[in-house]
Structure 1
Amino acid sequence: MSEPDYVIVGSGINALVAAAMLGRKGRRVVVLERNDRIGGCIRTEEITAPGFVHDVMATTFVLFLLSPAYAALGKDLEARGLSFSHTDTPTAVLRPDGSHVVFTKDRARNVAAFEALAAGDGAAFAREMDGLGADASFLFALLGGSLWSAPIFKAVAKEALRRGPRGLMAWFGEQLVTARAHLEGAYASEALRALWAPWVLHTGLGPESAYSGAMARVIAFAIEIAGCPIVTGGARNALSAFERLIVDQGGSIHTGADVVGIVPGPGDRAAGVRLAGGETITARRGVICSVAPDQLYGRLLADFPRPVPAEVTAGLARYRWGKGNVQIHYALSAPPRWKAGPALDKVALIHLTPGLDGVSRAANEAERGLLPAEPTICVGQPTALDPSRAPDGKAILWLQLPEAPRVIKGDAAGSIDVPADGRWTEAVREAYADRVEALLAAHVENFRDGVIARRVYSPADLQAMNVNLVGGDPYGGFCGLDQFFLWRPFKSSINHRTHVDGLWHIGASTHPGPGLGGGSGFLLGSALK
């Protein structure tokens, strides 16, 4: 095998995007994955019963569909089998009393529905979306661009000239508003606040987090445009398309390849990697690591001759992980019949929550190490979009619980016995899933009689599947303001550089953070020669 230009460690969405972007430039790339399959948080299996196809973790590809990576690679991936399934009703909220709000991809319908909830709320939503649209080029440059770069400095300077320095600072201040302040200030309807409050959880934040208000607006803007699409046939088909593209470009992908160290070259430059079996793979231009910070600096660079700088060591010691995640999957004998009515039948993602206060309460309980008494439940209905995910006439449900403690200190409801060491045992996992199931079953007429099988993954299970999901955190670390944007992963970080020449760091732990947009892989793959 000839020496590649780049070796990429890890095979999540950012690694695959980086590999494909480099391949477009004629660079030969080798992707190394320690597990028996590629994909990171993208994983599809028949985990409940034969013929029921579940995306175990990530399933909604709206960020990818709207990303620069898809704009660059989409046609090539589609030519290799990638396609998406859609619905015109991407999301909804369902409250305990059965009241609900359905969000569509039609602005006029949304405005009319929100206006019916409370006079002025429809007009307020239209103003919010129009305002975001007017700021989109600048806002998305900040959210997804290389922050330490001339283009960003020029964009900020241009905005300062347009708005004036004080006006620009006021704009930045508005972006830092919490979701609670934004939702309570913009909308009179509790139901409309309930629709958007759960979505900030999917950004690794809570309703009281700085800049969560901006994230709520961005999500509304994105899903009104692109919905909540899933990959037809399962997210694994996105991985297959990437693999075919990378191989067609002259690259290669190897699973079961556990990288244990970075190999130094002349001048202590990264010259390649060492595998657990002793094999060394060198690279002409460098090494890209799509791993968590502790894996890169605590494991792969443990024996590297150039010591880790003091500021990086300090940053690693202070690095904080976010809340854990619980996934629950159901195989059903028939599609769910929602007691609230058929308006929910084709909704991609339904949040079950009492509302804004309920989301705040559950998030706070999880952050304090408690099992939430009434967790926010995200219910995905993949078979409503893609019937091929289950045998004829049957269905699957995809549940995500984004408010789960990494280490359990207690149960907010006081009914689940928690081990003294705080571990997620099988008994705790299943008891918590029973709590969630009771909340869900109260809204579905045919649920109890329709369950064929259930499969639950606790935060500990997720970490066992992927070493980078520390404590079951799917967002690569706490996403609060002080550990995001310019300060991700560390206060000393500059884009995706490391202290070692020829070694770069990408993934959810780096800017622009988590999600299926492949942002860090795209930025680095575009920048490298």
Structure 2
Amino acid sequence: MERNRYDAIVVGTGPNGLAAGITLQRQGLSVLIVEGKDTVGGGMRSAELTLPGYLHDICSAIHPMALMSPFFQSVPLQDFGVEFIQPTYAAAHAFDDGSAALLHQSLEKTARGLGTDEQAYLDFMGPLLEDMPRLLPGLLGPFTFPEHPVALAKFGLKALPPATWSVNRFKTKEARGLWAGMAAHSIQPLENVATSAFGIMLAAAAHLYGWPVPKGGSQSLANALSDYFISLGGEVRTGFLVNNLKELPESKVILMDVTPKQLARIAADELSASYRGRLNSYRYGSGVFKVDWALDEPIPFTSEVCKGAGTVHLGNTFEDIARYESGISKHIESDKPFILLAQQSAFDPTRAPEGKHTAWAYCHVPNGSTRDMTAAIENQIELVAPGFKDLIKEKHIMGPAQIEAYNPNYIGGDINGGVQDIFQLYSRPVLSVSPYRTSASNIYICSSSTPPGGGVHGMCGYHAASQALKDIFKIQIPF
């Protein structure tokens, strides 16, 4: 490759790599983003995985954090073809007996559906929603001295306890189940400290912004970010897999949208031995097992309200889900997993031929698990949607090995870029004044292995780029 001179090079076109490139390019720098695959996107890709005409999201599907993200709010996504579709209900929690609890965009409607827990839910989430908009920039970034200490303290009192402790404020099966489904997005045992934070953030996202589906698939979001970056004067090169930093053109700074294990390998010659050792001690989390289906008809849920939910959580009661997630952390697998199920085609007709449908689901499994969870997932769906199996035209299966092969960032099937427990939430990838810096003064890490962690929000890339701008180019940008 020709040795062009760039101000900055970003490796990887996931949401954080694209966010980093955009943030740098906005300051008038010359920026190149390189991508190993032939298309941009990282975890925001869509493809016909099963049959022609059936468009499936390969990784991310529902995007509550996209509308919540201060970075995404600063990008004119609509001008570049993004249309977010809001399902009738943000999410539903389906119980084995055919009933369901609903997460509405309205706080009040959600609370009313929880029976005798109505006031408990209002008391829990209401004050948090009032403070959330001003807290978001701080919550979605590295640890800093808070601008709103009183509001942050109120948030912390509810967010820091384990989800197994917070659930005790609720008495009904519906409220407890709904809480379990949201907190279990943490992909860790619900008895872990700060798992309540994940449930709070997702509930707040629903009430403030909804849980939208990008029309045409998650790829449309990736394409829009890439097109916006190019419109600013940036350059994207796909089909360029970086195995060693010496393969890159010259630049003043390099930002890596990779996880610690990959960074230690790709930049082995540039990083100090002690820093590489810290990267190699980084802890990865549980993996996922994912199935996509091409269906003849919509999923026939027993509960009618589930048909209007973009996301449906399955796993029955809080106790059942807590037991399953705790077992996964101990490498104990069962036939009754907690499942995250999305039915995008029910709201976006571009996903399947007329009258046909797609479905997307995954469950958590031990990192690197080789167990086939297809039957367990389908049996769980069949329990709450009798006749589901008869509608399957074709399916596409990805276990942890296939997920990592698709995207090397997903080590052992870990889609969060590492465990997001209290010990590794702000110290990812290493404990440092700035987690985005490395031992090399011109190399930064901008992946979900940095704060604020996993999710399609771009904030890891934004903060890494902001740090590089300050250090290398002496440019300080306010958000």
Please say whether Structure 1 and Structure 2 have the same fold, judged by a TM-score greater than 0.5: yes
Indicate yes or no: 2:236 matched with 1:246.
no
Aligned positions of 1:206-221 closer than 5 A: 206-221=189-204
> 1:491 matched to which residue of 2?
431
Which residue matches 2:165? 181
Deviations 1:90-123 (A, max 9, x none): 1011111112112211223222212x2x2xx111
Query: What are the Cα deviations for residues 397-421 of structure 1, in whole angstroms up to 9, with x where unaligned?
Result: 11021x201244xxxxxxxxxxxxx
- Residue-by-residue CA offset, 1:443-478 (whole Å, 9 max, x unaligned): 224323211111111011101111111100000011
RMSD of Structure 2 on Structure 1 (CA)? 2.0
Match of 2:358 among 363, 382, 396: 396
Contact 1:67 1:517 in 2 (8 A): yes
Equivalent residue number for residue 458 of structure 1: 399
Counterpart contact for 1:336–1:345, Cα < 8 Å: yes
**What is the rounded CA distance, in whole Å, between the counterparts of 1:406 and 1:496 in structure 2?**
25
Matching of residue 113 in structure 1 with residue 113 in structure 2: yes
Bigger CA radius of gyration: 1
Show structure 1 runs of 5+ residues with no match. Answer: 263-273, 409-423
Aligned residue number for residue 268 of structure 2: 302
Q: What residue in structure 2 maps to residue 266 of structure 1?
A: none
What secondary structure does 2:445 align onto? strand
Match of 2:293 among 330, 342, 346: 330
Matched residues in 2 for 1:307 and 1:105: separation? 48
Deviation at 1:314, TM superposition (A): 4.2
Give the Cα separation in 1 of the matches to 2:146 and 2:81.
Answer: 39
Q: What pairs up with 1:219-238 in 2 under 5 angstroms?
A: 219-238=202-221
Structure 2 CA distance for partners of 1:171 and 1:13, relative to 1, 3 Å: closer
Aligned to 2:344: 382
How many Å separate the matches in 2 of 1:153 and 1:336? 48
Q: In 1, Cα distance between the equivalents of 2:242 and 2:27?
A: 26
Counterpart of 2:243 in 1: which secondary structure?
strand
User: Could you report, residue by residue, the CA deviation over 1:366-407 in whole angstroms, capped at 9, with x for unpaired residues?
Assistant: 112232221011110101221110111111111021x20124
Counterpart residue number, 2:366: 405
Q: Helix, strand or coil for the counterpart of 1:496?
A: coil
When residues 145 and 364 of structure 1 are mapped into structure 2, their CA distance, relative to the original with a 3 A threshold, is: closer
Question: Which residue of structure 1 aligns with residue 64 of structure 2?
Answer: 62
AA in 2 matched with 1:307: S
Per the normalisation by structure 1, the TM-score is 0.84
Q: Letter of the aligned partner of 2:464 in structure 1?
A: L
Measured after TM superposition, the shift of residue 174 of structure 1 is: 4.4
- CA displacement at 1:350 relative to structure 2: 0.6
Task: Name the CA shift for 1:435/1:482 in 2 (closer, same or farther; >3 Å).
Answer: same
d(CA) in 1 for partners of 2:187 and 2:135?
19
Q: For 1:116-195, list aligned pairs within 5 A.
A: 116=115, 118=116, 121-136=117-132, 139-147=135-143, 152-153=144-145, 155=147, 159=149, 168=153, 172=156, 174-184=158-168, 186-195=169-178
Q: 1:287 matched to which residue of 2? A: 254
Q: CA deviation at 1:358?
A: 1.0
SS of structure 1 residue aligned to 2:74: helix
- Matching residue of 2:87: 87
Secondary structure (helix, strand or coil) at the match of 2:37 reads coil
Query: Matched residues in 2 for 1:215 and 1:354: separation?
Result: 19
- Mark the CA change 1:396 to 1:512 in structure 2 (over 3 Å): closer, same or farther: same
The CA distance in 2 between the partners of 1:259 and 1:23, in whole Å, is 21
- Normalising by structure 2, we get a TM-score of 0.92
Q: How many residues align?
A: 467
CA distance 1:199–1:50, shift in 2 (3 Å): same
How far apart, in 1, do the equivalents of 2:280 and 2:291 lie? Answer: 33
SS in 1 for 2:5: coil
Mapped partners of 1:134, 1:237: distance in 2? 32
Q: Do the aligned partners of residues 337 and 307 (structure 1) sit closer, same or farther apart at CA in structure 2, a change above 3 Å counting?
A: closer
Name the counterpart of 2:184: 201
User: C-alpha offsets along residues 282-335 of structure 1, whole Å, 9 cap, x if unaligned?
Assistant: 11x3111110101112x122122x623x2x344234311100001111111111
> Which of structure 1's runs of 4+ aligned residues deviate more than 6 A?
none
Find the aligned partners of 1:510 and 1:102 in 2 and give their Cα distance: 32
Structure 2 unaligned spans of 5+: 470-474
Q: Is the 8 A contact 1:8 1:32 kept in 2?
A: yes
Query: Following the alignment from structure 2 to structure 1, what is the Cα–Cα distance between the partners of residues 261 and 433?
Result: 15
Which residue type is aligned with residue 254 of structure 2?
V
Question: Quick check: 2:11–2:34 contact (8 Å CA) kept in 1?
Answer: yes
- Residue of structure 2 in register with 1:35 after alignment: 37
SS in 2 for 1:348: strand
